[in-house]
Structures are given as C-alpha cells and as structure tokens.
Structure 1
C-alpha cells in the first residue's frame, strides 16, 4: 500500500493534487489540521510499500521517517520547513528547500516541469507568497482575473486547514483534496457557482469580519500582537488573519494568539514581509514552537509566557 502524507493546508493539499493529477495512484491518505504535523508516525509500517510526504517538517518526523527507511520502505519527501538532520539512505528521495520564497507546491511544480502550474500558483498565494505567485502568473501568461481567482482559492483552502481538530473545519483536508481531484483545472471550480470554492468564500468572509474585533495586546512600529477568543471561527482564521495583518503592515512582525481550553494559547507568527526571516527562530524558543522562516507558530503558549513571547518577538526584529 502506498501512503500519501500531507499537511492539511493549501500547500500540502495542492502539492498532492498536482502529483496525483500527473501520477494517478490508489493511496491511503494521512493528514489533519494544519498544526497536526507529526503525521509520518501514522503510517502502518507493516502495510506500507512506499510513502510520499508533502509539506510536513522533517525535523518533527525524524524518528518515524528513520523507522520507515529501516524497514526498507522508499520515501519521497518534499518540504520547505526546518529539516534537522536528514537521514542518509538510498531509499530517501528528498526535495527540500527552506528558502522563505519557496513552498512545497512550487517544489512539486518544478518536479513536474510545470504540468499543473495553476494549482501551484494557488498554493503559493495560500502560503502568502504573493510576489512569488504573481511572478509565476506573469511567466505563465495568467491574466489578472484568473490570478485574482487563484489567490482567493489558495487563501480559502489555506483557511480551511486551521482548527483545534478537524471538527472545526468546513472540510476534512482529505475530503477537500478528493473533491478538488475531480477538477483537473481550477477554472472549472470558478465557473461552477455551486462549487466548494463559493462555499469556502462565504465562510471565509463571515469569519474574517468577526476577526476585525480582535483584542490588540501590543502594537508598535516593530510588531503587533492580537488575541482571538476560543471559538471555532477564531481558530479557523488564526493563520489567514496573520497573513492579512502582514500584508497590511509589511515592515512589522505579527503574532495572532488564540485561546485554548487549557488557558494556553495557539500562536501564529508572521515575519515582516519585507524581512522574511526569523519566525521559526522566535517560535522554537518555546517548547511547542516550530515552522519556517517566514511563518511559524506555537501550539501551546502558557498564559504566563505571553509577555515573554511579545518581548522575544519585539527584540528579535528590533
């Protein structure tokens, strides 16, 4: 059995979509909410004959990856997050690039020689790589209307991935991937007014309107930190709201805190768009932190460490 392991955000879903449109294959799917990244350990070593892993930090899955390789299971690994020490094995094929201007879907797009580039562009928009995505639109002759639609698609698919559990999401990421697989070209989504694109658009706009009431915990010329209530809508917008704030103030770093049931906070961090580095360095100073240079997060920041987090964020970019 082949396993496809992928992040439940736009980058993970649309990276896999490109691969399976180009290389159809019956597979077992392993995914979850965006923050659920310890996914490789869910592969059944006794059943697996090969594994593809997309947009999931190798650093957070080293043990499970090593176990697969030790059991002679070939792994194709594509990612742009922190890697840690990459295992040395002839069974591991890895396409890894941690540059802040790269995402997994763009790496897959290169691997496929641009065969399904519109999905890759949508994913880049979803990962808030707007300038990179716009450049790909120009290179591929994508017009302004389609470019705007791809940006919206990437944003909505990314938005769908955020939640405490998959119960918070409008679509389970595996279901969303399978529904999108019916569309070889994203234009078909846009032309069908009853498609999931328009369902997600309506939900996104409603949730983002509610996010405008976020409590501002700190704001100066270096960074801004806001807090959202513990509610399904706030958990859904925690990442895309951070992207919106970053786009509004590209010279600032941003933190979006969302209250958890145990009084800790989930944190989304965005490096300044004009200085896309260091978000991961800020977050790994806390036990449940991780991510990449441009965007990172903390899964459970204790309430008593909020001021410490704000201080670390401000001092890093000062």
Structure 2
C-alpha cells in the first residue's frame, strides 16, 4: 500500500501533487490544517508499504517515523523544517534542506528534475513556493520555466489562496478541507487550468479578501523599531487570516519582524511569526521559547497562555534578527 502525508498548506499539497502527477498510483492521503503537524502517527503502514512525507517537521514526527521504519515501511521524506540528526535506516530516504530560500515543493521539483528528468509539473512547485512566501525562489523558478508575467501573477495568487485555506481551528473555518482541495488539484497537470476551471480557487481568494479587510481594521498591539505585533479576536475570519496576514505584513515592511496572534475561545493564543524578509533568521528560535516550532524565517506557536504575552512582547522586541553565526 501507499500513503501520502503532508501539511495541508500550499507547500505541502503542491509537493505531493507534483509527485503523484509524475508517479500516478493509488495512495491514501493524510493531511490537515496548517497546525495539524503530528500526522505521521495516523499512518498504519507496515512491511512493504511506501510512505511519502512532505512538509512535516521530522522533529515533531520522530517517534512515529521510528515506529514506521521499525515495522518495515519504506519512507521517502521531503522537508525544510529544523530537525536534529535524522535516523539512519535503510528504509528511509530523506531529502532535508534547511536553507532559508527553499521549501518542500522546490525540493520535490529539484529531485524530480535531477533524478527523474521530470519537468512537466514545475508550475506546481512555483505555486507552492509563492504560497510559502518564497517570492524570490518562485520568481527564479518562473524564469527557468519561462513564464510570462500574467501567468506568474495568476500562479502567485493561487499559491497565496491555497495557503490561506489551511488556516483555521477546524475544517468548519475553511472554504474546503485540504484533502478535498488536494483531490481537485490533482486533476490538473497545469495549475493555470486548475485556477481557471475549479470555482473553489476563486471562492477561496474572495474569502481571503474579505478577511483581510476585517484585519486591516485592527490596530497593532505593539510596535517597535524592529517589529510589530497584532492580536486578533476569537473569530473564524481571524483564524483563517493569521498566516496570510503575517506574510502580507512581512512583504509590506521587509525590514521588520511580525507576530500575528489569534485569541482562542479558551483564552489561549496561537501565533504566526515572520522574521524580517531582509534578514530571515530567528523565528524558529523565538517560537521554541514558547513551545512553538517552525523555520528560521517563518514559525508558529500552537498554544500560549495569555499571561505569557507580556514576556513574548519583551523577547520579541529584544530579538536580533541575524544569522546564528553573526552573534558569535
């Protein structure tokens, strides 16, 4: 049996779409909303089964990965999140790259082009990169493909919309469940056709626009010389918009870091953190201090008590957004 496991955001979905377009085969998909990270434990793979994992933190899924390998499953793993030493096991093929200018969709693209000679689905890699706020990398890939400017804009908008659809507390918050969205994406070898023929793409983009209008009415909770913090109310729109808003703010002020908090009904907070685009380092380190995780340029905190907000503001304001070696 085959199992595909991925984050339900643009990067995760586009990575698996590339793979399954290149290698069509029946596979059971395990995915979820943006913050559903511990997905590998749900996979019942055993000896002889194949598991493709894309855009999931190996660090967060390590016990489940070890269990799969011990049962004899073969695992191919593509990811760009911080990880300790990956297990050395004959059943694991790991493609991990922590460079700040890459994402999982680009890693899958790199592998398919270099190892399989497959270049038909590179537009989907660009969609994943744009959705993951990797604009420079997406533009470089678009140059390689030879995409016209209008096509680039449509693919960028599509990536942003797919990524936006992954944010929420549960599937009732979003336009379409990520698994259902994946099934629609997989129908189209060309994402431009998907955008033109599937009405859900336009519905997601329209909802995002309405949510951003509501977000624009919210004042900053804190502003300083190195960053800005927003705290959004406990509303479905704010749960949907948090990551997209963080990316938008980062693009508007590339010299500043941003934190977008969303209040939960139980009084706790979640957060999307973006390091300055001009110096994309440190978001993961900051989030780990509060039980979160992620990448150097973009990270998150799944659950933080409201009482910790004052400490977060203090540490956020004191951050030096520099590469690790810069502080040595």
TM superposition score category, shorter chain reference = over 0.9
- Pair 1:14-2:17 in alignment: no
- RMSD (Å), alpha carbons: 1.3
Match of 1:218 in 2: 222
2:47 and 2:71 in contact (8 A); partners too? no
- 2:243 corresponds, among 233, 239, 243, to 239
> How far 1:166 moved relative to its partner?
1.8
| TM-score of the aligned structures, taking structure 1 as reference length | 0.97
- In 1, Cα distance between equivalents of 2:171 and 2:88: 34
- Deviation digits for residues 71-121 of structure 1 (CA, Å, limit 9, x no counterpart): 111100000001122111011001100111100000000111133110100
Match of 1:103 in 2: 103
> How far 1:146 moved relative to its partner?
0.3
Within 5 Å, give how 1:136-147 maps onto structure 2.
Answer: 136-147=141-152
1:109 and 1:115 in contact (8 A); partners too? no
- Pair 1:209-2:213 in alignment: yes
Structure 2: tracts of 5 or more residues without a match: 114-118, 322-328
2:46 and 2:72 in contact (8 A); partners too? no
- In 1, Cα distance between equivalents of 2:208 and 2:177: 16
- In 1, Cα distance between equivalents of 2:162 and 2:82: 23
- Pair 1:122-2:127 in alignment: yes
Match of 1:41 in 2: 41
- Deviation digits for residues 19-45 of structure 1 (CA, Å, limit 9, x no counterpart): 000001101111111011001000114
Secondary structure at the aligned position of 1:216 is classed as coil
- Deviation digits for residues 200-237 of structure 1 (CA, Å, limit 9, x no counterpart): 11111111111112231111220100011111111011
- Deviation digits for residues 122-146 of structure 1 (CA, Å, limit 9, x no counterpart): 1101000111111211122111000
1:228 and 1:257 in contact (8 A); partners too? yes
- In 2, Cα distance between equivalents of 1:316 and 1:115: 43
| TM-score of the aligned structures, taking structure 2 as reference length | 0.94
> How far 1:190 moved relative to its partner?
3.6
Equivalenced residue count is: 316
- Pair 1:295-2:292 in alignment: no
Structure 1: tracts of 5 or more residues without a match: none
